[in-house]
Amino acid sequence: MIDLTISAALERLDRGEITALALTEACLARIRRLDPQVRAFLTVTEELALEQAAAADRRRTAGERAPLLGIPLAIKDIIATQGIQTTAGSRILQGFRPPYTATCVQRLLDAGAILLGKTNTDEFAMGSSTENSGYFATRNPWDLARVPGGSSGGSAAAVAARMAPGALGTDTGGSVRQPAALCGTVGLKPSYGRVSRYGLIAYASSLDQAGTFTCTVRDAALLLGVMAGHDPHDATTMPLPVPDYAAALDGADVRGLRIGLPEEYFTAGIQPEVEAAVRAAVETLARLGAEVMAISLPHTRYGLPVYYLVATAECSANLARFDGVRYGPRLETGDMWQDYKTTRGTLFGPEVKRRIMLGTYALSAGYYDAYYGNAQKVRTLIRDDFNRAFEQVDVIITPTSPTTAFRLGEKVDDPLQMYLSDVYTVTVNLAGLPGLSLPCGFDGNGLPVGLQIIGPAFEEARLLRVGHAYQQATDWHLRAPMLA
């Protein structure tokens, strides 16, 4: 049962061929067997999952139906779950149990989903390898000596290793799409405002967005259809109708679709095997009837510096609340101000401290306009580039990551090299657009390559149709890592 996609599991549950309890027990057994190697989970909620599965079976027996009734899922540990430890991968929140559940998770639970546990993350979602977790590093199921990507590496690894048929992550600068690419899963980052951020522990509020990990595009469509929609708890959610994303995939094709290939994404520094796999995927779409044309996104080269000014500035404000007074442990010294300094200085990790200091500097008197102010102006130029491009094309296709998974420890002491892992993803967040990553091949070491599809704001249905058509014509998504 662990090889079932969400869609296939729902069909078998509907036909009475399997039970939610049996499916959940299979996932939990696989977690017990494989997670000591992969280390995807910070918390496994076994007792709760079994209770929810038994309740789902009772509801089915009574004739009830719900979109995800009986489907086990994992949740990134930066998303609030009432009464269940939520640490954001940081020791400064160790033991914290939120008094409420995030809207995106609650909607999944209301649709019948089952909570398997909370997955590992770079501390406060700050990282590209899940090595910045305050607890331990997660490993890539395709090669345990390599990283799963980040910051949602635990969720990506859990789905890749078939410990869960689906998982939630968050994406501030690529933290769903990049680990999806490195782990060979489907990663969907919706438009900013499509899914509620209520209950996401904030890193950068103008960039954060909840996203999904699945094995197929159809499964991503199912989860998005449940999560999306306006939320009165989040003023940034848009009051737009939510399409039936999964139903729209039936009969989907790409005939007449205009695909843009931005020249700025195929330059020096990209791994040759990554470029070859992505171009082969574009050729597949062309054979299916799509029209391919070269485009330019000229301000792409400013994406990383703009991102690391905007994101760090927002994080320096958002993380001020973590001082040992209201949340998590407090290291007492006998003096209030020293308590703050000791708690934050000891329990925040080095990458979090680095970003808080960068952001505080960018916001400081005399530097605000030169750094943060100018970054916001260039952010507008980046969004304008995309708007002009979408006047010519329907979707834009790029690599998700410039390389396949790198080795554990390879970049952890070189922040600039680590930041370059997100060079193809950050501009999508800066512009508030939807992005979809799906597997499109493997390199010579047997590591997955990710294809990124970008669309106009709130056109997730278009991305899903393109991705689904590609998966119907290929079998990359059917491959799974072999773990002892």
Of residues 318, 428, 342, the one with CA closest to residue 383: 428
Rounded distance between C-alpha atoms, residue 280 and residue 18, angstroms: 39
Question: What's the token pair of residue 47?
Answer: 């007792």
Give 402's Cβ-side CA count (13 Å radius): 17
Question: What's the token pair of residue 32?
Answer: 């017990």
Q: What are the contacts of 29-33 at 24+ separation with CB within 8 A?
A: 30/2, 30/161, 30/162, 30/163, 31/116, 31/117, 31/158, 31/163
Residue pair 174/128 in contact (Cβ under 8 Å)? The answer is yes
Candidate list 7, 129, 133, 151, residue with the active-site label: 151
Pairing state between β 186-189 and 435-442? antiparallel
How many Cβ atoms from other residues are within 10 Å of residue 273's Cβ?
A: 17
Rounded distance between C-alpha atoms, residue 331 and residue 349, angstroms: 15
Of residues 328, 316, 301, the one with CA closest to residue 96: 328
How many Cβ atoms from other residues are within 10 Å of residue 443's Cβ?
A: 17
Rounded distance between C-alpha atoms, residue 358 and residue 356, angstroms: 6
Q: Which residues contact 8 (CB under 8 A, 6 or more apart)?
A: none
Rounded distance between C-alpha atoms, residue 443 and residue 273, angstroms: 6
* Residue ranges of E strands in 301-460: 395-399, 435-442, 448-454
Provide the residue type at 113 as one letter. A
Candidate list 7, 76, 133, 189, residue with the active-site label: 76
Active site residue 151: yes
Active site residue 411: no
Active site residue 296: no
Candidate list 90, 128, 129, 175, residue with the active-site label: 175
Q: What are the contacts of 328-334 at 24+ separation with CB within 8 A?
A: 328/90, 328/91, 328/92, 328/93, 328/94, 328/95, 328/96, 329/91, 329/92, 329/94, 329/95
State the DSSP code for 94.
Answer: T
Provide the residue type at 465 as one letter. R
**Burial class (CB within 10 angstroms; exposed 0-12, middle 13-18, buried 19+) of 48:** middle
Q: Among all residues, which ones are annotated catalytic?
A: 76, 151, 175
